[in-house]
């Protein structure tokens, strides 16, 4: 059995959905499980719904564009406006509105997970219905019945034994199955999400539990490149890389593969392919056992909208292990992801990702113990397998606030 994953860019409009059909017809539909993300930028649009709901007490204005977006796609796919797909989509919107009208929780993370999951539920309902209308039989699976997690909303942790049992019992291996990326359910059957861009991870979870032959992630790029072509010029395709290198690139922020995706695949040595849905016959990138550990060219990664925090003791005493332990306990408490660390005798600097918007709470807590300086809106640049030319080119025209060099990696925190 093979697992495919199509991201939001691949189903952003009716033409994209039709292209998914063409890819499946080229690759074959038997013994396939297809993971699909929300269409286009719908997760972003649903985040606006959450924010309006919690801040203004109203969601209708933000929800209306979401409805219109999906209706436009459906009108491009189904000639008959009485097609059952329209009923199914309407029922999903009714369920979402019912939650928003009756919910009493003001916990942002909880509300977020109950709302944004509808992006995936809508996309898979539409794609499954379209495939059926074209004569492609498929099973539409609700990933929440398959992937069981704890209740860490927005960053749920997979409960592997229960998930394995659910997937094994619900997936009919001989068929084509369609399911959602990014989502699961907790022990009380509330919806959870696996972290932003977590659909790749979903594909890895299903592949691991099904002992899949391979996973293919279909993207709008030729494969894994040595740099994001939207940021860096002359990006080159990495045709073959090892699991280890792919994990390193994902950890540092390469956006092509979700960081957690490789771990379950590596454990069972399941190959991962990253290919273009625009050119499905091209080889793309292969990530598997036995590939070269180190690419022959530098790899560039950038993470924008980061925060650089520099701490020093109020009395100029040393920052020792006890202090660092206290600092990291605060990072854990406020769900802060640390991307870079640098310390000296009396100072400690970190570059962090504030994806849960807890920065102000963290800073308030830190200021009680430390002298705190910080910069928001900085970028973290990473070069794997650097050379002098690569570093010089990256530093050009930037104000570098922090620089760290190890054997294989250079990292810069800079203001562009």
Binding residue ranges? 5-8, 43, 120, 230
Nearest to 57 by CA among 110, 100, 95, 119: 100
Under a CB-based contact definition with an 8 Å cutoff, are residues 90 and 81 in contact?
Answer: no
- Residue positions forming the annotated binding site for ATP: 5-8, 230
Tell me the backbone φ, ψ of residue 373, rounded to 5 degrees. -120, 145
| CA–CA gap between residue 412 and residue 390 (Å, rounded) | 12
| CA–CA gap between residue 206 and residue 37 (Å, rounded) | 15
Q: Which helix (H) or strand (E) holds 140?
A: strand 139-140
Tokens of 60: 């209708």
| CA–CA gap between residue 53 and residue 55 (Å, rounded) | 6
Residue with tokens 């927005």: 154
Nearest to 186 by CA among 198, 194, 178, 177: 194
Under a CB-based contact definition with an 8 Å cutoff, are residues 286 and 239 in contact?
Answer: yes
Annotate 315-373 with DSSP letters as a single string: T-----HHHHHHHHHHHHHTTPEEEEEEE-SSEEEEEEE-TTS-HHHHHHHHHTTEEEE
| CA–CA gap between residue 404 and residue 402 (Å, rounded) | 7
- Residue positions forming the annotated binding site for substrate: 43, 120
């Amino acid at each position: 059995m093979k697992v495919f994953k199509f991201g939001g860019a691949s189903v952003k409009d009716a033409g994209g959905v039709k292209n998914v059909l063409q890819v499946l017809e080229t690759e074959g539909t038997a013994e396939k499980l297809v993971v699909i993300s929300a269409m286009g930028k719908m997760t972003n649009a649903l985040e606006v719904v959450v924010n309006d709901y919690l801040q203004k007490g109203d969601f209708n204005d933000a929800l209306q564009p979401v409805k219109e977006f999906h209706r436009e796609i459906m009108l491009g796919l189904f000639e008959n406006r009485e097609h059952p797909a329209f009923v199914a989509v309407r029922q999903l919107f009714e369920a979402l509105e019912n939650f928003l009208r009756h919910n009493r929780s003001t916990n942002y993370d909880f509300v977020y997970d109950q709302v944004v999951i509808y992006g995936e539920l809508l996309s898979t309902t539409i794609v499954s219905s379209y495939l059926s209308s074209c004569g492609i039989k498929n099973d539409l699976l609700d990933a929440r019945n398959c992937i069981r997690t704890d209740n860490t909303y927005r960053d749920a942790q997979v409960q592997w034994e229960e998930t394995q049992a659910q997937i094994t019992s619900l997936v009919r291996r001989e068929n084509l199955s369609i399911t959602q990326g990014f989502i699961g359910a907790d022990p009380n059957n509330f919806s959870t999400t696996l972290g932003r861009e977590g659909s790749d991870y979903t594909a890895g979870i299903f592949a691991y539990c099904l002992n899949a032959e391979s996973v293919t992630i279909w993207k709008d790029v030729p494969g894994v490149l040595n740099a994001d072509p939207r940021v860096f010029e002359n990006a080159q395709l990495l045709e073959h890389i090892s699991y280890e290198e792919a994990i390193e690139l994902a950890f540092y922020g390469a956006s092509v593969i979700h960081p957690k995706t490789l771990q379950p695949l590596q454990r069972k040595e399941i190959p991962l392919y990253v290919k273009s849905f625009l050119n499905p016959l091209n080889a793309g990138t292969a990530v598997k056992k036995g590939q070269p550990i180190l690419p022959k060219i530098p790899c560039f990664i950038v993470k924008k909208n980061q925060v650089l925090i520099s701490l020093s003791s109020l009395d100029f005493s040393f920052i020792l292990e006890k202090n660092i332990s206290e600092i990291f306990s605060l990072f854990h408490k406020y769900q802060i992801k640390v991307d870079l660390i640098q310390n000296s005798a009396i100072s400690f600097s970190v570059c962090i990702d504030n994806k849960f918007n807890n920065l102000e709470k963290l800073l308030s807590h830190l200021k009680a113990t430390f002298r705190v300086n910080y910069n928001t809106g900085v970028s973290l640049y990473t070069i794997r397998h650097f050379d002098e030319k690569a570093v010089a080119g990256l530093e050009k025209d930037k104000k570098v606030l922090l620089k760290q060099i190890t054997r294989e990696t250079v990292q810069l925190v800079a203001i562009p």
